[in-house]
Amino acid sequence: MPTKIIELTGQVNLFVKENSEKLRRVLIHPSARREKKIDGQNRYDFYARKGEALYCLRCLAFLQRLGIADDSNRSLHLMNGFNSAVYMADFIERVGVLKYLSAGAACLSNASEKEKAGISRTVYYILVALVEEVGNPKVMDCLTTRFYSYLLSRFLYSPGGVSINYKALVEGLLKSDFPRLVRESFGENEEGEGAWFKLYFKKKPVYEETGRSIKTMRKKGYKELLFTMID
């Protein structure tokens, strides 16, 4: 089963509470410095740029782990998705970090929903930078690798998006261990109508189905195996 967003927020929410003062010092939007005349250097912009760089580097490492980093079309599609302001805004709202954001009243009241989501995405990057600075690998894993896995599951289960070769992704994850760990068997039903397909991982069945198309069943089987591996 794909990763659920609720599974990622608990440790992050705890980190936010434990580091509330650090967040207050950094989350001073440029509009607050202008409108409220709050003193402060460009911590907001610096941590945002630093966090985005860290986030994107880890994103690239995740794509390399999937074995598709050299596929520019699919990699760009996924990288754009992993940087989605909509999903990041939803995550930031869930972990309660926005209450530490100081922004000018005019800035927020005049901002469109898209602009507000953009601010939330920036806050997400800032949170990544602070987690790296504090040195909390479990929370960093929630904000990066596990978040990528959650978004990947959303994209793969959605009816649209790019065509995905699930078998190739599994092979990319397992590399030289693929022939040893994965085995498939298939054939026609005894009645002569339809076919069956079974997929095994580490000698344990992960998918078993009957239908008309072995090709379709194989795709579904490797899709389930992929989620088993990245969750």
Count of domains in the chain? 2
- Residue 129: C-alpha distances to residues 22, 51, 122, 125 (Å): 11, 4, 11, 6
Write down which residue in 138, 157, 176 finishes a domain.
Answer: 157
Residue 78 lies in a domain: yes
Read off the pLDDT band of 111 (50, 70, 90). Answer: confident
Q: Structure pTM?
A: 0.74
* Arithmetic mean of pLDDT, 105-124: 88
Domain range for 60: 6-157
Considering the domain architecture, whether residues 73 and 141 belong to the same structural domain is answered as yes
In the chain the first and final C-alpha atoms are separated, in Å, by: 8
Percent of the chain topping pLDDT 90: 48
CATH of the domain at 27: 1.10.1520
Q: What is the pLDDT of residues 151-178, one digit of tens each?
A: 887 776 655 444 667 887 788 777 788 8
By the 8 A CB rule, do 173 and 158 touch? Answer: no
Give the pLDDT confidence score for residue 93 in this predicted structure.
Answer: 93
Q: DSSP string spanning 9-31?
A: HHHHHHHHHHTHHHHHHH-B-HH
> Which pLDDT does position 42 carry in this prediction?
82
Query: Average pLDDT, whole number, for the chain?
Result: 86
Q: Are residues 137 and 212 in the same domain?
A: no
Over pLDDT 70: what percentage of the chain? 91
Greatest mean pLDDT range, 26-40, 119-133, 142-156, 183-197 = 119-133
153 and 170 belong to one structural domain: no
